[in-house]
A and B are shown apart, each in its own frame.
Chain A
Amino acid sequence: MEKLARQMGLLPLREEMFAPGHNACPGCGSTIALRMVLNAVGERAICLVPASCASLYVGPGDTSAASVPVIHTLFAGCFAEAEGMARGLHLQGRDEKVVVWAGDGCCYDIALGALSGTAARGADILVVCNDNEGYQNTGGHQSTATPPDAATRTGRRSEHALTPVGRKDLVEIIAAHRVPYVATASAAFPQDLAAKMAKAAQIRGFRMIVLLTPCVTWGYDSRHSVKLARLAVETGYFPLYEVEWGRHYRVSHEPAMLPLEMFTRLQKRFHGADLDAVYREVQAKWEDLRFNAGREAAALGEGIGVPAPPLPSPTIR
């Protein structure tokens, strides 16, 4: 493939670590992100993929769209396995980076204990959470990353809960382990994503990047995939930020704070949903984020006399 690309003068293809020819759904937001992630990590890497759409779309049968080895593995075991691999490589003086490409069902639910364990043990691994807010490979089922009032194939989370529920805040959970680096990123902001990946790739120790990746099971027109990724950020629904050592917060992109509906109305899952509840969650997140990011700036005497940065726009209805 690479040779052919060179012969044909298609030079950009040479740099791609994730080639066309995968078999994800048209309009899948995660393959775009995976390409960026693998490009940023480079050739000296090994990728672990727990049970997910990626178990299938990286390459059916003996083919592979990725230029690095991909080990397909268990839903709950991937993080510890990556840790063991990194330890083995370390012992042998090898420099391959160990990257786990895991979905939200894995990170938020079934392997949360393992994620916490490997973070607490300082495992030298880079976890990339491909968060599409649900178990999408099984056809669109709720995970604890699913917004409580979003429709899934088994109803809304809020319908099944005995008491009010919210989305788990995975970034904060992992940040609370005081790991070197946790960040959020989006394929709609490729430079921000590449910069964070480059930063994470350099650091030794436990690193995690959470990507919000639109999935067609959200009920959108496949052409809107990147637009939705962008709107998730620009409405404030998905803040782009990073946390170092669990304490040093930085918002890496100031969103335009567009009305939340611009993001939700393109998706069937939010039709008939209580958007005020979503809004309240988003607003609370930004209040915390502003507080945490401002704390350091205040200590440094920065930001004095500067107007407070904006919170999300209220819903228009």
Chain B
Amino acid sequence: MSSRLAEGRRQTARMINGAEAMALGFELAGARIAYTYPITPQIEVMETLSRNGEIAYVQADSEYNVLAGAQGVAWTGERCAVATASQGLVLMSEVMWEVAGNRLPLVMGVFNRGLKGPGWNLGAQQNDTLFMRDTGWLQFYCESAQEVLDFILIAFRVAEESCLPAIVAGDGFYLSHETEEVRIPDRAVALAFVGERVRSGDPMAAGGGNYGGLMAPPKYSRACQRMHHDVTRVAAVFAAAAAEFADRFGRSYHLLSPVHHHDAETVVVAAGTVCGTVRDAVERRRRRGDKVGMVKLHAFRPFPGDALLAAAGGAAKIAVLDRNLAPGMGGIFAAEVRLALHRLRCPATLYSFVTGLGGADVTPEMVERALEYMGAENGRPPETLFLYETGVEE
């Protein structure tokens, strides 16, 4: 056993929920300021942070100003804790673009929650974070409280190394409020992993100069192009950070993780807490001899298209479960997968299931229904299917 893993063994196991795990992640990453605003279901994150005497706790007047304030903190090179959900994140949208454009490595925790469209909703739905798709923020999705804590640490490391901000997301209530055993890294080891905050391009150290002023089209377009390439390059930065994380703490992460994929004829792709349900259904089917596998997506940005095809490209049928909906297009993860299949000339047939909207429960039986539907349906499936407890609908 390496000495680093021995270090990592100094972890304490505690029963905590995802919200507490998120707050702990920020504390362990060395955030000295927290910008907050109350919104369900991230309330417990801010409450936990407020109890930490070592963190300067600020409650702003809106989520918009939470992110604006956090951006100010980031300019000075300090790490800042930020967490929100739903309406709060959407209210931040304008600032989201600016933070990424300024290349400030903020890390934000989000507990996904449905947006006020047809009505108020409190349940899990990923449209809030997915709405931020084009901002330049990295996006990671978690299945457990342990992952929430671990990904906050990894996200800080990756964000600061790539000068890009990152969202660490988990389903509201399913993750924020469920208590589980979480192994909590030793503070010094966690900080050693995240590393010293290297402040480059600090305007205050540089004297006079304009930051973020008017840019002529050639310069603006090059800056956008560079951001695009930097987001795609994060895959390598992530791999290195995750390898060191595994070395120190014994938990290994990738942009996606496949299960039973080698001989799978059908693969189910999902992100978030629904992955547990899918795993359950896949195991049941396996016991019955069906060649079914799954791919859990940890990252939406960068989107691990190549890795996905490497894991699931051999399957004849790929299902994508989306707890989100872009009306007129369908599931958002499915759209990304469809694009990757097309780009890499993969002949697998894609089945896009939108399910669990507004926090509706997704059961293993429902996943099995989707698999049965796929088994029976051998033509070209409709672009988008809706999966309910009662069955599959168009």
Contact = CB atoms under 8 A, between A and B. Distances in A.
Interface of A: 46, 55-56, 58-64, 66-74, 76-89, 91-92, 94, 96, 113-114, 116-118, 120-121
A88 B61 CA distance: 19
Given A83-B58, A84-B72, 15 more contacts: A67-B208, A69-B209, A70-B209, A70-B213, A71-B203, A77-B64, A77-B67, A77-B98, A80-B66, A84-B80, A88-B33, A88-B73, A113-B65, A114-B62, A121-B58
Given A60-B214, A76-B94, A121-B58, A83 B69 contact: yes
A85 B213 contact: no
A122 to B, nearest CB: 11
Most chain A beta carbons < 10 A, residue from B69, B73, B216: B69
B61 to A, nearest CB: 3
Nearest to A17: B208
Contact of A70 (B66, B98, B211, B219): B211
Interface size class of B (residues with CB under 8 A): 35 or more
A69 B71 contact: no
B206 A69 contact: yes
A114 B65 contact: yes
28 contacts: A55-B214, A64-B209, A66-B210, A69-B203, A69-B204, A70-B208, A70-B210, A72-B211, A74-B94, A77-B98, A80-B60, A83-B72, A84-B35, A84-B68, A84-B69, A84-B71, A84-B72, A84-B80, A86-B72, A87-B58, A87-B72, A88-B33, A89-B204, A94-B204, A113-B62, A117-B61, A120-B61, A121-B61
Contacts of A63: 210
Contact of B72 (A62, A70, A80, A117): A80
Interface of B: 32-33, 35, 56, 58, 60-62, 64-78, 80, 94-95, 98, 203-204, 206-216, 219
Contact of A77 (B78, B94, B211, B216): B94
B211 A71 contact: yes
A121 B70 CA distance: 15
Contacts of B69: 80-81, 83-84, 87
Contacts of A83: 58, 69, 72
A186 to B, nearest CB: 26
Contacts of A68: 207-208
- Of all A-B residue pairs in the complex, the 9 with the closest CB atoms, nearest first, are A84-B72, A88-B76, A117-B61, A77-B68, A80-B65, A85-B72, A84-B69, A80-B68, A69-B203
A45 B261 CA distance: 58
Nearest to A83: B69
Contacts of B210: 58-59, 62-64, 66, 70, 72
B190 to A, nearest CB: 20
A155 B193 CA distance: 61
B204 A77 contact: no
B75 A114 contact: no
Contacts of B216: 61
A117 B62 contact: yes
Contact of B33 (A77, A81, A91): A91
Most chain B beta carbons < 10 A, residue from A84, A85, A96, A120: A84
Given A74-B95, A81-B69, A81-B72, A117 B60 contact: yes
Most chain B beta carbons < 10 A, residue from A88, A94, A121: A88
Contacts of A116: 61
B213 A77 contact: no
Contacts of B32: 91
Contacts of B74: 84, 88
